[in-house]
């Protein structure tokens, strides 16, 4: 698969999330580096056996981005626990491609 088709497929995972898609593609365009591989909706196994999805992840940089939409306004405690699990997974490199 060529880079363009990969990017189209990757960013199409955020369909029905217009705000998130706008933010993620804006970040990608600002980076302007075709050597970086973005992964949207990256699967992360949590410590409790469940999983989370990072909105955008750059494996080469070990940087994950979460776009907080309206849903997140009333879920601070859950989001903090989720974020701790994601940070642990990135640190331990236990992230799998989905």
Asked if residue 10 is part of any domain, the answer here is yes
Q: What is the mean pLDDT of the chain?
A: 79
- Position 97 scores a pLDDT of 47
Query: CA–CA separation, 85 vs 98, rounded Å?
Result: 17
Name the domain count of the chain: 1
Asked if residue 26 is part of any domain, the answer here is yes
- Report how far Cα 22 is from the mean position of its chain's Cα atoms: 14
Asked if residue 33 is part of any domain, the answer here is yes
For residue 61, give its domain range: 3-92
For residues 77-96, give the mean pLDDT: 71
Handedness of CA 56, 63, 61, 94 (dihedral sign): negative
Cβ atoms within 10 Å of 54's Cβ, excluding its own? 21
Model confidence over 6-27: pLDDT tens digits? Answer: 888 888 887 677 788 888 888 9
Asked if residue 78 is part of any domain, the answer here is yes
Model confidence over 22-36: pLDDT tens digits? Answer: 888 889 889 888 888
Asked if residue 98 is part of any domain, the answer here is no
Asked if residue 97 is part of any domain, the answer here is no
Asked if residue 60 is part of any domain, the answer here is yes
Q: What CA–CA distances, in Å, run from 71 to 30, 50, 58, 67, 68?
A: 26, 20, 24, 11, 7
Asked if residue 13 is part of any domain, the answer here is yes
What is the Cα Rg of the chain in Å? 14
């Amino acid at each position: 698969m060529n880079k363009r088709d990969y990017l189209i497929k990757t960013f199409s995972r955020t369909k029905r999330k217009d705000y998130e898609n706008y933010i993620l593609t804006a970040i990608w365009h600002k980076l302007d580096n075709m050597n970086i591989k973005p992964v949207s909706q990256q699967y992360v196994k949590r410590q409790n056996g469940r999983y989370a999805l990072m909105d955008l992840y750059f494996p080469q940089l070990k940087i994950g981005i979460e776009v907080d939409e309206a849903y997140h306004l009333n879920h601070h405690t859950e989001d903090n626990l989720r974020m701790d699990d994601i940070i642990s997974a990135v640190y331990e490199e236990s992230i799998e491609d989905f």
